Structure 1
Amino acid sequence: MPVLKTDYEHIVLNANGTPVIVGTSMKVTQLLLEKTAYGWSPEELYFQHPYLTLGQIYSALAYYWDHQEELDQEIERRLEFVNRVQQTMGVSPLFQRLKARGLM
C-alpha cells in the first residue's frame, strides 16, 4: 500500500490520505477518539495498545494538534456517515430482542 511520509517520524498518510502510525493500521483519529472518549493519558493509551511505543503515541497526538481542524472535520464526516447508515438500516433485530428482554 503506497504511503506518504509526513514531518512526523511515526506518522504517514495511507493510500486514502489518512494519517496512520507507521507499521500499523492505527489511525491518528482512532487513537484520539479513544483518548477523548475514555479520558486516557498517553501512558494509558500505551497500556491499552502495547504494540505502540510512547513515541508513536505522542507523535500521533502532536500530529492531531497540528492538524486539528482538518481531522475534526474528518471525524465529523465519519460520524454523519454512521448516522445516515443507522437511519437507513433502522433498528437491528438483535437490538429489538435485547430491548424486549429488558437488556437495553
Structure 2
Amino acid sequence: MSLTINYPHLTRDEPGAVRIGRTRYKVIHLAAEHYHYGWSAEELMRQHPDLRPEHVYAALTYFYDHYDELVQLMTSQTTQVNDLREQQTLTRAELLARKKST
C-alpha cells in the first residue's frame, strides 16, 4: 500500500511500517530522535545526510499528523526494552568476565 496521495515521500512496507521513500529509514526512527532528543529538522538532516529535506519534513509531518499513535508506540517499545533488560540475569561485568574466559 502506498501513501502517495497524502505523503508523497513516504511509503508503507509489507509489515505496515511507514518508511521514508525507498530508504532504510522508518518514520518512527526520525520521530523518536525528534521527540526524545529534541532534534529539529535541520539537526535530523545533519545526522542523516543521506536524507533530503523533503524526506525529513514529510516524516515530521506524518509524526505530527499521527502524534498520539506514534508516541504511544514509542512508549510501548521503551517498555518492552526495559522489560527485556530486567529479565537479563547477568550484569555487564559478568558478561565481560564470561567473554574473557572463552
TM interval, shorter chain, is: 0.7 to 0.9
Equivalent residue number for residue 2 of structure 2: 5
Tell me the residue number matched to 2:67.
68
Match of 1:100 in 2: none
Residue of structure 2 equivalent to 1:15: 14
2:11 counterpart letter in structure 1: V
Structure 2: unaligned runs, 5 residues or longer: 97-102
TM-score of the two chains, using structure 2 as the length reference: 0.80
AA aligned opposite 2:33? E
Matched residues in 1 for 2:61 and 2:34: separation? Answer: 13
In the aligned structure 1, how far is the partner of 2:94 from the partner of 2:77?
Answer: 22
Q: CA deviation at 1:94?
A: 4.1
Q: What displacement does 1:93 show?
A: 2.4
Deviations 1:1-54 (A, max 9, x none): xxx211201111122211111111211111011122332211111111011001
Identity %: 33
RMSD of aligned alpha carbons: 1.9
* 1:42 matches 2:41: yes
- In structure 1, list runs of 5 or more residues that go unmatched: 98-104
Match of 2:52 in 1: 53
